[in-house]
Structure 1
Amino acid sequence: MLSFLPAIDRYIFRLVIVPMLGVFALAASLLLLDKMLRLLDFVAVEGGPIGVVFQMLATLIPEYASLAIPLGLLLGILLAFRKLATTSELDVFRAVGLSYGRLLRVPFAITAVLMTVNVALVFFIQPVSRFTYERLEYELRSGALGASIKVGEFTTLADRMALRIEESENDGRDLKGIFARVANDRGQVLSISAKGGSFLATTDDPDTIILRLSEGTIVQDTGSQTPRVLTFTRHDLPIDLPAIEEFRDRGVEEREYILPELLRIGWADNASESKRDASQASFNFRLVEVVMMALMPLLAVALGIPPKRSTSALGVFLSIIMVVAYHKVNQYGEDVAALGIVDPIIALWLPFFLFAALIIWMYYRVAIVPGGQAIGALENWFAKVTKRFGKLFKRNRRVVLDEADA
């Protein structure tokens, strides 16, 4: 598939793509698993169907992908150049006249493709999927997704019925130990107990379901001293479903706007000042997050090449810290810009240019300065700390062995 590329580009592509896809899959999986546990608990509390958990997780994939793509790109390139450096292959490439710019040709091509994907995610797909997630959550809370009656608890339906079920089998299809207290239109109260039952849908009225009871007793309060008692083998009890308001329209929150809507509202004269500030802040936040991806290859090279005769992994951990910290700074900048406290250009683009200047300086130190190292001081400090802890560990181990011999 990549036969049209020179051999060196195919080799670097393989070095980058494998860890990049691995990091992307790992990061997205961890985020989804953490959210899945919370959603399972939420759906269980609300009494909804288990299938809605996977629908809600699917709507979160674009949001998590927009976070995992830059991280996977950074670590994929970083680990590839780290391997080249630790195996001395990078020295060979440099000796035959290949510059860092030439070696970064394929990583920058991958970056361009992923930037295009991220633009589609953050400006078009993610806003719609986020609105879908909010709608599913609303429908789950309101019961529109078929929220089940909680076993062992009294549930009030349509303000005229109290229902309690002792046991539920076959995913709610078979009910055991049913008690219901119903107020009819004439003001009479029916107390119904049944051995079993099941819910049935009606074809003529979607707002009503039938609770089919079997082998039970009905006690009707007629207002006299002696209530009327009836026994039945089968009895159908209609239940009116509560009215559910339709969910709001998309666009109440700025993160639900797609790109044309952000541009139209953010610079519209007839929009309120708070709406313009929030839309401009959201637009600049999304844009600056995408543009920063263009500098990821330079940051990866600056942090991925350890000092000579060193296999330190400090750059790997530092890269994650820097990217996450920058993302949090952008989130804070978006919040203050949305409130109108600071102009979005200053709140979001000033940190970008500062971070970009730091990345370019670090890359210059590694790629241009002979023997330069962007984090050389940190590498030396990390090596000393690691060595000190190693000596302390050996001393404690020796003491433990001596005590064991004694």
Structure 2
Amino acid sequence: MFSFIPSIDRYIFRLVIVPMLGVFVLAASLLVLDKMLRLFDFVATEGGPVGVVFKMLASLVPEYASLAIPLGLLLGILLAFRKLATSSELDVMRAVGLSYMRLLRVPFIITLILAALNVALVFYIQPVSRYYYEQLEFELRSGALGASIKVGEFNTIADRMALRIEESSDEGRRLSGIFARVADDDGQVLAISAREGNFLATSDSPDTIILRLSDGIIVQDTPGSTPRVLSFSKQDLPIDLPALEEFRSRGDAEREYILPELLRMGWSENAPQAVRDASQASFNYRLVEVVIMLLMPLLALALAIPPKRSSSALGVFVSIVMVVAYHKVNEYGQAVAALGRADPVIALWLPFAVFAALILWMYHRVAHVPGGQPIGALESAFAKLSKSVGKLFKGRRRASPVAEEGIADTDVRDHSRPAMAGG
């Protein structure tokens, strides 16, 4: 089916795609797992259902994917060309006349596809999913997800009822150890205790639910009369739900704006200056994060080729540090530009220009300078450090048997002297 694609391109594609997908899945999984622990703790504290955790995590996947895609692309290309370099296949390809730009044809095609995907994520999908995450968090705090009644605590409902549930099982469908205190406008107070109960929805009024109680006692205390005690096997207790505050509309923060909204708010003369600054900063930040992906193949190639007769993986470490540092610089530039302290072009595109110039210089050193190594000084220092550490540990391993042997000889001589003197 793909016979029209040159075999060298298919080979490079296989080398790139496997580590790229692996790094992408690993990075996204680490970010999701770190957030999952905090969300489980938050949902447990608020008393919400467990299923909302996975909904909130799913809404954060686009945000994490926009960070994991550039990192996976960079490391996928870097590890592929590092394998070619350490196995001397890259030297053979260069010897038969294949230039580095020809070998980067497939990585650049993959980069364009992932850049287009990242544009859709950061300008459209991520803002909407972030708003959905904020909405879930609001509903969880307000009790709209069924988290307003906490087990083992007294809960106040509509300012006239106090309810306490000792235990809850079967995902809240079966309640036990129920106590309720209900007061009305006439001063009458009902103290109700029941062995079991469950909540039922009503079709007549969505703002009212029924708490059906089983095997309980009602103590009715009316002002001016003797309290009465009643027992029951089944009793329905209507509960008026508190009015839930509606969640805000999307667009409270600039990160919730999609691309047309950013362009409209950022360059509108009628918008407040603070909104314009924040929108322009967010637009430029998202744009530089996407554009820098187009230089990832050149950076990966420059750091993938170790010195001759060396299998150093220092380039992998340097690539991660460079990408993470550049991302943090962009975040700082966005924050400064959003406050109106700097122009977004200077705060975001100046670091981009510096980083792009550094990448182009590193690629030029590898591709056009014989024996050029963009991180040659770091490679030499790393090699010397590795040799020093290796010698240090090797010396310690050699010193330990000698010391033990010396102790053993001393023990033998000390025990042998009394025997000779007695002879």
Distance in 1 (CA, whole Å) between partners of 2:40 and 2:364 is: 49
Superposition pairs of residues 3-402 of structure 1, within 5 angstroms? 3-147=3-147, 149-224=149-224, 226-402=226-402
Residues 242/148 of structure 1: CA separation in 2 closer, same or farther (3 Å cut): closer
Cα deviation per residue 1:223-253 (whole Å; 9 max; x = unaligned)? 2473111111111111111111111111110
C-alpha change, 1:177 and 1:402, in structure 2 (3 Å) is farther
What secondary structure, in the 3-state scheme, does the structure 1 residue paired with 2:247 have? coil
CA-to-aligned-CA distance 1:311-363 (integer Å, 9 cap, x gap): 11111011001000000000000000001000000000000000000111111
Give the C-alpha shift of residue 160 in structure 1: 1.0
Post-superposition Cα deviations, 1:15-46, rounded to whole Å, max 9, x if no partner, equal 00110011011111111111111111111111
Q: Secondary structure at the match of 2:251?
A: coil
Name the aligned partner's letter for residue 220 of structure 1: Q
Amino acid at match of 1:84: L
- Quote the Cα distance in structure 2 between the aligned partners of 1:223 and 1:202: 32
Are the structure 2 counterparts of residues 209 and 402 from structure 1 closer, same or farther at C-alpha, using a change threshold of 3 Å?
Answer: farther
The residue type equivalent to 1:188 in the other structure is Q
Quick check: 2:187–2:222 contact (8 Å CA) kept in 1? no
Q: 2:2 & 2:337 partners in 1: Cα distance?
A: 45
CA distance in 2, matches of 1:164, 1:69: 49
8 Å CA contact 2:187–2:223 kept in 1: the answer is no
For 1:288, the aligned partner's letter is: V
Q: How far apart, CA to CA, are the structure 2 residues paired with 1:181 and 1:112?
A: 65
AA at the equivalent of 1:231: S
Partners of 2:401 and 2:277 lie apart in 1 by 66
In 2, Cα distance between the equivalents of 1:245 and 1:168? Answer: 27
Moved more, 161-170 or 110-119: 161-170
> TM-score scaled to structure 2, two decimals?
0.94
Larger radius of gyration: 2
CA–CA distance in 1 between the matches of 2:190 and 2:403? 79
| Equivalenced residues, count | 406
**Deviation (angstroms), 1:402:** 4.9
Superposition CA RMSD, Å: 1.3
Runs of at least 5 residues in structure 2 that lack an aligned partner in the other structure: 409-423
Structure 1 CA distance for aligned equivalents of residues 403 and 211 of structure 2: 74
**TM-score normalised by structure 1 residue count:** 0.98
Q: CA deviation at 1:399?
A: 4.0
Deviations 1:263-300 (A, max 9, x none): 11111111111111111000000000000000000100
Identity %: 77
Cα contact 2:281–2:338 (8 A) shared by 1: yes
The separation in 1 between residues aligned to 2:399 and 2:150, in whole angstroms, is: 60
The separation in 2 between residues aligned to 1:374 and 1:146, in whole angstroms, is: 59
For 2:81 and 2:99, locate their aligned partners in 1 and report how far apart those are by CA, in whole Å. 13
CA distance, structure 1, for counterparts of residue 168 and residue 68 of structure 2: 41
| 1:398 positional shift | 3.4
Contact 2:216 2:231 in 1 (8 A): yes
Moved more, 284-293 or 51-60: 51-60
Deviation at 1:403, TM superposition (A): 5.7
Could you tell me how far apart the structure 2 residues matched to 1:274 and 1:2 are? Answer: 53
Judging changes above 3 Å, is the alpha-carbon distance between structure 1 residues 208 and 360 closer, same or farther for their aligned structure 2 residues?
A: same
Deviation at 1:309, TM superposition (A): 0.6
Shift of 1:400: 4.3
Distance 1:235 1:330, change over 3 A: same
Opposite residue 229 of structure 1, the aligned amino acid is: V
CA distance, structure 1, for counterparts of residue 334 and residue 135 of structure 2 = 24
* Residue identity matched to 1:221: D
- Kept in 1, the 8 Å contact 2:69–2:114? The answer is yes
SS across alignment from 2:181: strand
CA distance in 2, matches of 1:9, 1:319: 24
Q: 1:153 to 1:399 in 2, by over 3 A?
A: farther
Q: CA deviation at 1:394?
A: 2.2
Q: Which residue of 1 aligns with 2:412?
A: none
Instruction: Letter of the 1:4 partner, please give it.
Output: F
Distance 2:61 2:77 in 1: 23
In 1, are the aligned partners of 2:155 and 2:164 still within 8 Å (CA)? yes
Give a deviation string over 1:70-115, Cα, whole Å, max 9, x none: 0000000000000000000000011111110110011011101111
| Structure 1 residue 369 displacement after superposition | 0.2
User: Residue 387 of structure 1 aligns to which amino acid in structure 2?
Assistant: K
Distance 1:403 1:242 in 2: 79
